[in-house]
Structure 1
């Protein structure tokens, strides 16, 4: 699941293809994780799972857990990031069903999947994994401010879901297309899922954020 390299960057090993779980979400902006995976990793997304009253559609096939399993889906990814980063109690039963069917459950939310005993039991019974993308990194240094080789572009914004990651990924893609050596360094849950590694910066104690940014870049 998670492996921390010597430089402190967390490497994430997710089993694909994915079923994107949208639950009963009503706001398009709340589906930034699912939408990001569909756009940037389309080959890894098999379909979406949502309640009847969910009004958001990512434009991929609607699949039940049974259908997803039959098509070879390996992980169900919680594709929403509602305000507060909590898992709705209504979602739990469906996630339990997925875990019981052997699908890894992947979450980028603030709460940990292990907080739900029934989910833990289902995963243990089937051998499925519970993957928390927002896993804090220990032993980070403070920032040094020392000049380093290479160039870095930091995307910042005044709120969540306004295009920081999207801009960074788009710029990286364009630079690579022009033959420029470039890489995307993820600091959020969706970016980490897309890149396969990174550092969840909102889990870092403020004293070490600058150091974390230096380690990551």
Structure 2
């Protein structure tokens, strides 16, 4: 039996709002390869959607995990990402447990503690390993869909456009509206907006200096 490998990657470590999303994907070595896989950042949104459907159809196992803003604030973004990686990997290993030994390749240079199988960290893995590429696509598409949905509940921030990243439009909305429940209050721009000091105008004496 061919060894099974789970690729693990995340989307959304950097944004000021929304979850960090982690995916794990195990391909069946006996099935044909999916053409066109790549790092999700190198693909347009329409292409990612097409590949997402193919991945979930053909993968032997896949799992997507959301770690929400409150948990990110509680344990910090790095630990939240590592937690999501462990949970995603646990999900696929449980699914393929009766199909032989599964190992993992995790994008980046850190491995989460307490993994359910042998694993290696692979720097630049989302451009080198097909399973990691697939995981990056699932995570990115799932997060983008979630942020479009959350825009419906908080339309003033336009999460549908910037997906929570710190664009000028998002920072302007933060300054005008303050944070909403989707915002990560442990991130400096959100914390400053909550205090009412983000982009505060300079005193008149400074403005005229």
Q: Same fold, TM exceeding 0.5?
A: no
Instruction: Give the TM interval when normalised to the shorter protein.
Output: under 0.3
Question: Larger Cα Rg: Structure 1 or Structure 2?
Answer: 2
Please report the TM-score for the alignment, with normalisation by the length of structure 1.
0.26
Please report the TM-score for the alignment, with normalisation by the length of structure 2.
0.26
User: 1 or 2, which has the higher helix percentage?
Assistant: 2
- Which structure has more RCO (C-alpha within 8 Å, separation ≥ 6)? 2
